[in-house]
Amino acid sequence: MSWLLALPFFIPITTALIAFLARGRKHLCSVISITGCFAALCVSIAIVTLVVSGGPQAAQMGDWQAPYGITLIADRLSAVMLLISAIVGLCVALFAISDINENRVKLGFHCFFQLLLAGVSGSFVTGDLFNLYVWFEVMLIASFALLVLGGEKIQLDGGIKYVALNLVSTLLMLTSIGLLYGLTGTLNMAQLHISLAEVDNPVAISTLAVIFICAFGIKAAIFPLFFWLPASYHVPPVAVTAVFAGLLTKVGVYALIRTFTLIFPNDLGFTQNILLGAALLTMLTGVLGAAAQYEFRKILSFHIISQIGFLILGLALNSPLALAGTVFYMIHNIVAKTNLFLISGTAQRLAGSYELNEIGGLYKASPLLSTFFFIAAFSLAGFPPLSGFWAKLLLVKASLDQTAYFVTAVALITGALTLFSMSKIWAEAFWKPHPQGHCKSLYSLSVAERLQRLLPVSLLASITLILGFMPEPFIEYALGTAGELLHPDDYLEAVLTGSSH
Amino acid sequence: MNSIILQTATRVLVALILVFSVYMLLRGHNYPGGGFIAGLIAASAFALFAMAWGMEAAQSALRIPPGNLAVSGVALAGLSGLMAIFYGDGPFSGQWLTLIGAKEEDGIVISNVLFFDIGVYLTVLGAVLTLIFALEEAS
Amino acid sequence: MEGPLAVVVGILIATGVYLMLARDLLHYLFGLVLISNAANLAIFIAGRLTRASPPLIPEGQEAPQIVVANPLPQALILTAIVIGFGLLAFALALIAQVYRELGTLDVDRMRIAEPVRPKRKKSL
């Protein structure tokens, strides 16, 4: 049992080591990377089935009982995040075969990619705040390396802004963890839930909560802490952007959800208002920023920010339905966003640029790619019956239930503006004729490359369709997750009463 | 730097520092010390060597690319965490293997903690040297 | 002892923030180094400062016999120092590379990724 929970990060780290030793051979590296991702996928499926049938599962590292040792724990939220990140990892590893050139593979692309996945998975399974910090750093250093790998000027420029602002987040997180330890004497998240309720120092707790919002807020790219994201996400190869877009900011959101449902549940009012304000402004600024952009990947980058606003909104509303909305939105958004970036990469390959005024004619040249883009983009905009519609419906319903009509209005305006941006891409890149008069068709690529580019895209698109046409089991799962988050009794019991045997 | 005094002193010092780093590594098992600090000490030996004799000399003295050293260190540390699987315990739990005699009667006992520490040593040595070589090559 | 050290943490952070407000990237990095030390010191203080022995258990015993210092913050700081060392070393190497490639350390002049006037479409 305890080994199963360690596997989500053991497998990627092992894969990273093997990939590092094999880095001189491009194809071998890809095979290793894909095998590792597939194994991680199998493990996460096993964890999800276990959690659904048996509730939260905990494991104590080194057989040190909680709260003294490091606890690993998988509840419904962790399990689904593990599953979805494994799927994204597999898709991007497939896509990377044709997208990442030999030079980058030699410099260790697959090694850093797997380390990134290890950091992400580790963050999802850990039940210890300091361990979370360590996994964040594993993820961060791998993302630094991936971002500047290859060393083009534009990469260095974007990379330096990413590094500079994320280091601030790291230091804030470290400081707040230190202060929290000083206040309670423990860093085990379950124990913190109990210990912090006994601390009679509301000023210190509120201050800490705000520092945590800032620390995780930089990672999650919420307003006004998101400036590193549009500065850097369009500079690396698109496979890197896709995995960043799918997973990195979501880990920040995951940390926020954990912190504010498990550790600071008694400090509502105050932090909830901050989160709500930040969420609304994030939604609006993100989508307005996207409206001003004319580059494929920059538009998508600004949309990441806007979507983060929706995720935080559910957390801020803090009702079972709202949290379920956040969870469902997270699943939908990771899939759709990764897919859009992968599609933008293939669009650039066919049409020659990311600048919308330099490309066009993609619909005529490759209707298949256009269909996939249509599914992902209009799901993101919330078109019924695609997955984004159900995600937004849950959040809008939750805001209506709390008679927060202003919130509903902002959510709907953001949805409309998202539709505007997606239509802009659709009209410019897909419908209008190519300005230079030629856009390569998918059939001009070799069979292998076509497969490597389209297989992950079609896999993610089919998940979007399944989420859209059969949302009930997923919404049910999300509601179950929200229940666990709001009433963490099972979680506490699993961690603190030594369920390792 | 081309100084005869430094070069001559380095020949002696490098050996001394390396031995001291191994001492620090093994001492860390029961007393202050350990893999991290020992790795830094060993890295300082190679940094000194590089200062006195040049970057290429230091790289050839190390024989293995520092990146590989770091990766093998991580692998060793990971493997020591996996050792517990043969004893049916949780990941990263401490395991003691008795080589000679019994554990209670001053026998020689070897633990996976030691291997973990050696892994840390190699990782720190490799990582620091990767960095030093990269910075030095660039300038 | 906690009081004066808390003031030291404050001074370190203030100095670090001041340095980070500079346009020069190297100043920014030095500011980060100071704040990183401040964070480590904060964890150290959070474990409470006592005049006590090192937390080593004598041979043959299961628990320390005398009052010992809190070992957990020290373990946390060690980890944090290692990670901070790695991150800052990477940042330093990156800054060196940026200076070589872009020829400046002034962040206001680094506009390759985000041009001041992005390409607009001239006509349809």
Write the DSSP string, chain B: ---HHHHHHHHHHHHHHHHHHHHHHHHTTTSS--HHHHHHHHHHHHHHHHHHH-HHHHHHHH-S-HHHHHHHHHHHHHHHHHGGGGGT--TT---EEEEES-TTTT-EEEEHHHHHHHHHHHHHHHHHHHHHHHHHHH-
Cα Rg of chain B, angstroms: 18
Within 8 A by CB and 6+ apart from B40, the residues are B124, B128
Is the predicted pLDDT of residue A467 greater than 60, yes or no?
Answer: yes
Q: What is the pLDDT of residues B68-90, one digit of tens each?
A: 898 899 999 888 888 877 777 77
Decide the pairing of beta strands B96-100 and B108-111: antiparallel
Q: How confident is the model at residue A398 (pLDDT cuts 50, 70, 90)?
A: very high
| Position A428 in a domain | yes
Q: What does the H/E/C string look like for A137-178?
A: HHHHHHHHHHHHCCCCHHHHHHHHHHHHHHHHHHHHHHHHHH
> Which has more pLDDT, C109 or A396?
A396
CA distance A378 to A396: 18
Contact indicator for A395, A313 with CB cutoff of 8 Å:
yes
| Position A257 in a domain | yes
Asked if residue A331 and residue A202 are part of one domain, the reply reads no
Asked if residue A342 and residue A282 are part of one domain, the reply reads yes
Q: Where are the domains of chain B?
A: 4-85+113-138
> Which has more pLDDT, A37 or A318?
A37
Place of tokens 């016999």: C65
Q: What is the pLDDT of residues C92-107, one digit of tens each?
A: 888 988 888 888 888 8
Of A38-42, A208-212, A311-315, B131-135, the poorest mean pLDDT is in B131-135
Of A308-312, A495-499, B127-131, the poorest mean pLDDT is in A495-499
What's the pLDDT at B1?
A: 65
Residue span of the structural domain in which A448 resides? 277-469
What's the pLDDT at B3?
A: 84
Chain B partners of A13 at a C-beta cutoff of 8 Å?
A: 74, 78
What's the pLDDT at A65?
A: 81
Is the predicted pLDDT of residue A265 greater than 80, yes or no?
Answer: no
Q: Shortest CB distance from B94 goes to which of A3, A60, A62?
A: A62
Chain B: residue whose CA lies nearest to C57: B30
Is the predicted pLDDT of residue A501 greater than 60, yes or no?
Answer: no
| Position A272 in a domain | no
Q: How confident is the model at residue B34 (pLDDT cuts 50, 70, 90)?
A: confident
Mean pLDDT calculated for residue range A331-344: 93
Q: What is the pLDDT of residues C63-95, one digit of tens each?
A: 777 878 888 888 889 889 888 888 888 898 889
Please give the mean pLDDT across all residues of chain C. 84
CA distance C59 to B29: 13
Q: Where are the domains of chain C?
A: 2-51+68-109
- Check CB contact under 8 Å for A157 and C97: no
Chain A partners of B78 at a C-beta cutoff of 8 Å?
A: 10, 13-14, 17
What's the pLDDT at A403?
A: 85
Asked if residue A235 and residue A295 are part of one domain, the reply reads no
Please give the mean pLDDT across all residues of chain B. 85
Per CATH, the number for C2-51+68-109 is 1.10.287.3510
> Which has more pLDDT, A310 or C50?
A310
User: Does B57 contact A at CB distance below 8 Å?
Assistant: no
Within 8 A by CB and 6+ apart from B121, the residues are B21, B25, B35, B36, B38, B39, B42, B73
Rounded to 5°, the CA angle B39-B45-B49 comes to: 145
Within 8 A by CB and 6+ apart from A66, the residues are A58, A60, A127, A188, A190, A191, A495, A496, A498
Q: What's the gap in Å between the CA of A410 and the closest CA on chain B?
A: 48
Asked if residue A115 and residue A45 are part of one domain, the reply reads yes
User: Does A289 contact C at CB distance below 8 Å?
Assistant: no
Asked if residue A318 and residue A260 are part of one domain, the reply reads no
Mean pLDDT calculated for residue range A52-80: 87
Mean pLDDT calculated for residue range A254-266: 88
Q: How confident is the model at residue B67 (pLDDT cuts 50, 70, 90)?
A: confident
- Comparing C-alpha atoms, which of A59, A157, A95, A102 is closest to residue A460? A95
Decide the pairing of beta strands B96-100 and A57-60: unpaired
Q: What's the gap in Å between the CA of B16 and the closest CA on chain C?
A: 25
What's the pLDDT at A253?
A: 94
What's the pLDDT at A268?
A: 65
What's the pLDDT at B30?
A: 75
What's the pLDDT at B60?
A: 87
Interface residues on C facing B, Cβ-Cβ cutoff 8 A: 54, 56, 78, 82, 86, 89, 92-93, 96-97, 100
User: Does A359 contact C at CB distance below 8 Å?
Assistant: no
Is the predicted pLDDT of residue B45 greater than 70, yes or no?
Answer: yes
Q: Shortest CB distance from B90 goes to which of A13, A14, A59?
A: A59
Mean pLDDT calculated for residue range A346-372: 87
Task: Give the number of domains in chain A.
Answer: 2
Q: What is the pLDDT of residues A4-40, one digit of tens each?
A: 888 999 999 999 999 988 888 888 999 999 999 999 9
Please give the mean pLDDT across all residues of chain A. 90
Number of neighbours of residue B72 by Cβ within 10 angstroms:
18
Mean pLDDT calculated for residue range A215-239: 91
Of A130-144, A167-181, B48-62, the poorest mean pLDDT is in B48-62
Q: How many CA atoms lie within 13 A of B63 on its CB side?
A: 0
- Check CB contact under 8 Å for C93 and B139: no
What's the pLDDT at A287?
A: 92
- The separation between CA A336 and the C-alpha centre of its own chain, rounded to angstroms, equals 11
CA distance A153 to B55: 27
Beta bridge partners of A355: A295
